[in-house]
């Protein structure tokens, strides 16, 4: 399944706020429907103009999305602005699916090899017909080998991947583990080992905790750029344990920064565009 990602700060972004309040809901609704369609059909954000009729879009909503730089005009129709920065491309999706297919195939082949039956006549193993003892594999974990040959049904928090190879992990888990390791190294620390603990923490963070992979990546980059947190978050288990605390610190920093926003020319241009669109809306309302 392919997802259409929406950042949690999208509703208060300048590109959204520049759309007049009275027209914002239908315009962003159109933007969301178009985005989910593009994600489902893996068009990398492109769609034909004929789809606007199918979605019941008004020309006013289309013009506002283009003016706000959420959409760009193409010869065939429109394309989402900067799609690859926020969504997975068709090439990435197909590569991830192929990687997942190979992982499952290797896992099935491995399990099939473990289920092969031993030779029926074990008495041929020694001269004189004395039977060769075949050790019986216990189905109960021991302290030396806590993971039984045949896994039992465990809760979500107790499930552990049988393989710790990074290449066999689900793409999101592998990507987050590799990213954190590279960021830690870039900060001058010793390269940590991506082992079973890292893989388990990353997977449970996505599955059990319900964290969005893109949001986790952004938070990971933020904490490794922060002078305090980059010295305290050096492993995936620690990152998962401190996730909410890190998120709150990042949100507070973003709020403080927005409160002290300088009079940047780009922001002034966005405000001016909003005023112009509002004036055009008022003129249309008066003439109607």
Q: What is the pLDDT along the chain (288 residues), one digit of tens a residue?
A: 788 999 999 999 999 999 999 999 999 999 999 999 999 999 999 999 999 998 999 999 999 999 999 999 999 999 999 999 999 999 999 999 999 999 998 988 888 887 765 555 544 445 555 555 545 544 544 444 444 444 443 343 433 344 444 444 578 898 899 999 999 999 999 999 999 999 999 999 998 888 888 899 999 999 999 999 999 999 999 999 999 999 999 998 888 776 665 556 667 777 777 887 887 777 777 776
d(CA 236, CA 204): 11
Would you put residue 135 in left (φ > 0), alpha (ψ -120 to 50) or beta?
beta
Whether the CB-CB separation of 184 and 215 falls below 8 Å is answered with no
Query: Six-digit token pair at 20?
Result: 């007049």
**How does DSSP classify residue 43?**
-
Query: In which residue are the tokens 């960021």 written?
Result: 183
SS3 71: strand
pTM for the structure as a whole: 0.41
Q: Around Cβ 168, how many Cβ atoms within 10 Å?
A: 18
At residue 169, φ and ψ (nearest 5 deg) are -80, 160
Q: What is the 3-state secondary structure (H, E, C) of 267-281?
A: HHHHHHHHHHHHHHH
Sheet containing 77-80: order of strands: 46-48, 77-80, 71-73
d(CA 51, CA 278): 27
Rg (CA), the chain: 27
Query: Six-digit token pair at 60?
Result: 């006013």
SS3 78: strand
At residue 194, φ and ψ (nearest 5 deg) are -85, 95
Q: 29: Cβ–Cβ under 8 A, 6 or more apart, which residues?
A: none
* Buried b / exposed e along 88-106 (16+ C-beta atoms within 10 A): beeeebeebeebeeebeee
């Amino acid at each position: 399944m392919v997802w259409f990602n929406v950042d949690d700060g999208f509703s208060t972004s300048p590109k959204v706020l520049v759309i007049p309040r009275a027209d914002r809901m239908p315009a962003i609704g159109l933007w969301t429907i178009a985005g989910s369609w593009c994600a489902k059909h893996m068009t990398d954000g492109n769609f034909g103009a004929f789809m606007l009729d199918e979605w019941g879009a008004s020309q006013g909503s289309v013009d506002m999305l283009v003016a706000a730089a959420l959409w760009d005009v193409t010869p065939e129709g429109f394309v989402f602005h900067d799609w690859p920065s926020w969504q997975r491309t068709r090439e990435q999706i197909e590569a991830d699916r192929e990687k997942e297919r190979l992982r499952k195939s290797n896992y099935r082949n491995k399990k099939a090899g473990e289920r092969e039956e031993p030779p029926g006549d074990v008495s041929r193993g020694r001269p004189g017909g004395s039977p060769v003892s075949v050790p019986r594999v216990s189905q109960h974990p021991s302290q030396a080998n806590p993971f039984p040959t045949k896994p039992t049904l465990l809760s979500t928090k107790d499930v552990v991947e049988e393989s710790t190879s990074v290449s066999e992990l689900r793409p999101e888990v592998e990507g987050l583990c590799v990213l954190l390791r590279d960021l830690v190294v870039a900060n001058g620390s010793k390269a940590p080992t991506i082992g079973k603990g890292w893989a388990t923490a990353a997977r449970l963070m996505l599955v059990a905790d319900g964290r969005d992979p893109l949001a986790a990546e952004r938070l990971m980059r933020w904490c490794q750029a922060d002078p305090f947190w980059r010295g305290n978050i050096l492993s995936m288990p620690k990152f998962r344990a401190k996730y909410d605390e890190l998120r709150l610190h990042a949100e507070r920093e973003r709020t403080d920064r927005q409160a002290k926003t300088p009079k940047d020319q780009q922001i002034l241009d966005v405000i001016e565009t909003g005023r112009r669109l509002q004036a055009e809306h008022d003129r249309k309302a008066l003439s109607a």
